[in-house]
Structure 1
């Protein structure tokens, strides 16, 4: 990783190598990461379950597998990959290809093809990372590309927020209000509160819902009612068998299809660029400066390794979780140890299925309220990169406007207006790739940003190349320009 930034970021409570003490505090901080990612982690299995035609038992196995895969991928990333405090979890970028596979094959057969596509694509991602290709992006990815990509990571998740919050907006808004109360109003007055704003908000909202549910004030038909039925139906411990719902290849041996492979490569592209932006965002928050080429290469390569294990253990492709980066920005706790503790909790939830089932009783509107607070923070962190570029430049404003707006326009077109008959020159695999990229606002922003910023003429100072160090506000004075200083 690059050398530490000359100044520790204002308000940073724990740096990369610092361990919160005592241990219960560190454990609570790690659990807070799990609670932050829980909604998105469980959402993908629930979204895909109807397409897969899974029953409740199969869904329980799928959720358990997702927890285990996230734990393994997080450990590999933090310990051997980028070595940044990044939580790995299920990526929404892969939903399109996965749904396409589920519409072709149902049930466990679909999961076998999904596993095959994940593992094949993971090999490509590993080659890009460990082959040194990922680090080359540093030469071409400037703040003009990074800023809209990170911003769209947060903004594009508005739909997940609406889906979770819409059954009970009052509860969602109350949860957001609690986050503001704990994170912005009370945090400056109490160090302990400043460390656990999300956890305190979620626990407070959950206890209120539980009390209203037990007393009958909140009926079962209202979103926010806490039901423990799923806990009783879930077994205590996950089996260690191979196949048949066991730990390894729970859906059977993977199956491979060339069309699915090309379709999922576009999702890997979006995931890689998203992670590239996440590495920069978390480095800035942690005060570590720009991640160097080796850090990026290790991070991308290890994400590929994590995805490969995902195929083995029957889950879905993993990537860096932006909401957890937002949590680090909110709590100012950038400790690797905290994230590794979170990985232990994830592994525990995967093996002791009833624990995960109990957390699943958290009402969706509470999760939506958390998203409402964190996803906007991610967008703001992304846009803050623009302070390094010349915002008086018509070139930069035009490129940024096109990239940001296209991140919303193209997914709308491919999702609602480009029918099944749409084709690019009649080439099936190429059409699948273009559709997959066009359906992801993050992928659209990454591709357009890279092309426009590197093809349209502009000076390095105008583009923010080498002008500012990430995480500082002071311009870097090139050697030989020290006169008068």
Structure 2
């Protein structure tokens, strides 16, 4: 990825920006900014699954806190690393949304709803352990990710996330009468304008935490409008610990395990794409070894998560946009964010403070964050040689296939539920399409054609002279 004109090359730094340790205050505020960017994505799956199972309000709060706690532990594994585990890149890990549909299906098929979570936890543990063993083999797929593929995938990640921001901007409840009202959209627009003004007219530290300031300012603006709800803070406990196996010992059912293994494959595919994207943005390209270590962190974090009542973990694409925009590339900043997640899991009241931020405010900031990811992908495509061969066709078809679930969510409604786990993930389908088309157009038959051309243009050897 090209350096911006105002930035020195990475080689000019005494320590690579990814390994840089920032001052405590800056690390804390920028780490909190990462938490704010991904909080809604972490709490949504437990809220949806918990509601499907019929958990009480107290149990739902406990499940949400447990997912925050395990997301923090998984983030530590990914950023700080241990042995051959962890990509050691500025990645935030949290509950993958790809598992929501199969987990709710498992809950619906349970004869006793009290057994639903133990069955889900057992399936996640097995899928995580199998994924951990498969990580080094899965990472070898990196040779199928040239710039034309990575650029396409990065663009697709950003474009696929933008509808999430647009949904947040319209309000908290799609079924409500005021969903999409001028009040909500105006609040989202005000937050977006605040972030843009801060990025344009401020410098240094303030500029780097523009998103966090925008979220706080947007929340303050929302108070007189009656949009901000402080109820979760008043009702939350000060201290709480996600006691192991709170909902019962894990149970192991084959059908549930198979469905979660499919989710694990989807999650590993998306994580591979995310690592390639982030590697380009922070100018430390993710090689096969890095991807293997990152996938080990994802899968081990997933296997350990159910011990503390959490779900399958995966790298969060939302935070890639924050890294791209702020240019703060330190993995220790994200590790600080992981620390906040752990504290929120241990202190539900602290977790509820982030929940106070209205959805429209998150939507306004999300436009900047997710759009930055798409812009980074386009920048990669510029240098990918689109004028060569059929690269334009590879990009065009892959983006189209990847955007099907975004533009037509019910497009695959007639397919089996197991197949939809993969098909409804636009990032996964777009990624696989890009890899396949790149192989077809740029590799298969190319070597044979080059060999044939070399033979045709070769200069024939002169016939040996006879000795007379």
By how many angstroms is 1:414 displaced?
7.5
Query: What is residue 140 of structure 1 aligned with on the other side?
Result: 144
Q: 1:359 to 1:300 in 2, by over 3 A?
A: same
| SS of equivalent to 2:21 | coil
Counterparts of 1:419-458 in structure 2, within 5 Å, are 419=414, 422=415, 431-458=416-443
TM-score with structure 2 length normalisation?
Answer: 0.84
Q: Which residue of 2 aligns with 1:111?
A: 117
**Aligned-pair CA distance for 1:146:** 2.0
> Which has the larger displacement, 144-153 or 120-129?
144-153
- Bigger shift: residues 230-239 or 167-176: 230-239
Provide, for residues 423-454 of structure 1, a one-character-per-residue CA deviation record: whole Å limited to 9, x for no partner. Answer: xxxxxxxx554322112111211222222211
- Residue by residue over 1:367-414, the C-alpha shift from the partner in whole angstroms, topping out at 9 and shown as x without a partner, is 111212111111222232223322124521222211111112367778
- 1:84 CA drift (Å): 0.7
The offset of 1:196, in angstroms, is: 0.6
CA distance in 1, matches of 2:185, 2:99: 28
Please say if 1:182 is aligned against 2:225. Answer: no
How do 1:7-156 residues align onto structure 2 when only pairs under 5 Å count?
7-8=9-10, 15-21=17-23, 23-80=24-81, 81-105=86-110, 107-129=113-135, 132-156=136-160
Hey, what's the Cα distance between the residues in 1 that align with 2:413 and 2:11?
A: 46
1:279-315 superposed Cα distances (whole Å, 9 cap, x missing partner):
2222222222x22221111111111111111121112
Q: By how many angstroms is 1:107 displaced?
A: 4.4
Closer/same/farther in 2, CA of residues 12 and 355 from structure 1, 3 Å limit: farther
- Cα distance in 1 between the residues matched to 2:219 and 2:382: 39
Distance apart, 1:15 and its partner CA: 0.8
Match of 1:469 in 2: none
- What SS does the aligned partner of 1:83 have? coil
Correspondence for 1:407 among 394, 399, 402: 402
Pairing 1:382–2:397 present: no
- Structure 2 gap segments, 5+ residues each: 1-7, 172-183, 448-468
* SS in structure 2 of the partner of residue 248 of structure 1: coil
**1:266 is matched with which residue?**
262
* Distance change >3 Å, CA 334–CA 9, structure 1 → 2: farther
Moved more, 226-235 or 170-179: 226-235
Question: Pairwise CA RMSD of aligned residues?
Answer: 2.7
Question: Cα 1:383–1:119, aligned 2, differ >3 Å: closer, same or farther?
Answer: farther
TM-aligned CA deviation for residue 95 of structure 1: 2.1
Asked whether 1:341 is paired with 2:343, we answer no
Equivalent of 1:317, from 312, 316, 319?
A: 312
The separation in 2 between residues aligned to 1:195 and 1:355, in whole angstroms, is 24
Per the alignment, residue 246 of structure 2 pairs with: 250
Q: Displacement of 1:353 after TM fit?
A: 1.0
Q: Alignment partner of 1:20: what SS?
A: coil
Kindly tell me: are residues 96 and 382 of structure 1, through their superposed partners in 2, closer, same or farther at Cα, counting changes over 3 Å? farther
